[in-house]
């Protein structure tokens, strides 16, 4: 199973390093910590001798270019990232990211040797990235993000089946995941989760990543 801890813009560098030091790797699970850009290097150092992986929260669609404020996938690779989240609903909402831009970011990630975790809000958005490989899809219904109201496993299953008709890739569920509801998503076929709020609590994160069905 694959678990992505998306720390968003919630923690500074020192806080990120402290939390990273409290995350326990789980045998056989892929755990990816995604701190904000300024914390990537320090968190990378903290988890260096563990099986925990490093992932960024976004990357540019450009390889090398005059793009003030942007960060390229190659720079992330240089910092030790192996994953990058692209197309998170907060990026789509606050930065106007389109399916086409998200697909371009995912291609840039692959070109730099990273695995993109492409967030989608509905199954049809998977079509834009269906030929990209390696690829991880995260289904995150907008109304479930940060609301404490996760999707039901039945709803999540319906969307999962629709995604699988479009693309061959591991699919994660995201949106108010916690230690109690994780098992329901694994049972209907999800291969892990993208976790926001609950990933800020190492005990809750351990409950999620330790879920067995």
Residues 6 or more apart whose CB falls under 8 angstroms from that of 118 comprise 86, 87, 102, 106, 126, 129, 132, 135, 136, 137, 138
CA gap 42, 35 in Å, rounded: 10
**Binding of ligand PGA at residue 6 (CB under 6 A)?**
yes
Whether 88 is a known active-site residue: answer yes
CA 25 to CA 141: how far, in whole Å? 27
**Residue (192 or 197) nearer to ligand PGA, CB:** 197
Is 116 a residue that touches ligand PGA (CB under 6 A)? no
Can you tell me which of 17, 156, 177, 208 binds ligand PGA, judged by CB under 6 A?
Answer: 177
Annotated catalytic residue, options 90, 97, 140, 191 = 140
Binding to ligand PGA by residue 86, rule CB under 6 A?
A: no
Nearest 5 degrees, angle CA 38-CA 70-CA 82?
60
Stretch that binds ligand PGA, among 48-56, 61-69, 159-167, 172-180 (CB under 6 A): 172-180
Which positions ≥6 away from 175 have C-beta within 8 Å? 140, 141, 143, 144, 145, 147, 150, 151
Q: Which position among 88, 90, 97, 191 bears the catalytic label? A: 88
User: Any catalytic annotation for residue 140?
Assistant: yes
Q: Which residues are known to be catalytic?
A: 88, 140
Q: Which residues bind ligand PGA (CB under 6 A)?
A: 6, 140, 145-146, 174-177, 194-198
């Amino acid at each position: 199973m694959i678990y992505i801890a998306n720390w968003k813009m919630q923690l500074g560098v020192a806080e990120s390093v402290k939390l990273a030091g409290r995350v326990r790797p789980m045998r056989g699970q892929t755990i990816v910590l995604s701190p904000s850009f300024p914390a990537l290097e320090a968190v990378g150092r903290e988890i260096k001798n563990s099986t925990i992986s490093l992932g960024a929260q976004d990357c540019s669609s450009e390889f090398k270019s005059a793009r003030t404020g942007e960060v390229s996938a190659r720079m992330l690779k240089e910092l030790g990232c192996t994953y990058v989240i692209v197309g998170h609903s907060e990026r789509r909402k606050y930065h106007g990211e389109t399916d086409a831009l998200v697909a371009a970011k995912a291609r840039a990630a692959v070109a730099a040797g990273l695995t993109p975790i492409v967030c989608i809000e509905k199954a049809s958005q998977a079509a834009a990235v269906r030929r990209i490989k390696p690829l991880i899809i995260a289904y995150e219904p907008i109304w479930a993000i940060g609301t404490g109201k996760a999707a039901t496993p039945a709803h999540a299953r319906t969307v999962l089946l629709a995604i699988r008709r479009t693309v061959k890739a591991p699919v994660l569920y995201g949106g108010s995941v916690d230690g109690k509801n994780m098992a329901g998503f694994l049972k209907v076929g999800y291969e892990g989760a993208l976790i926001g709020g609950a990933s800020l609590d190492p005990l809750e994160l351990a409950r999620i990543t330790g879920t067995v069905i």
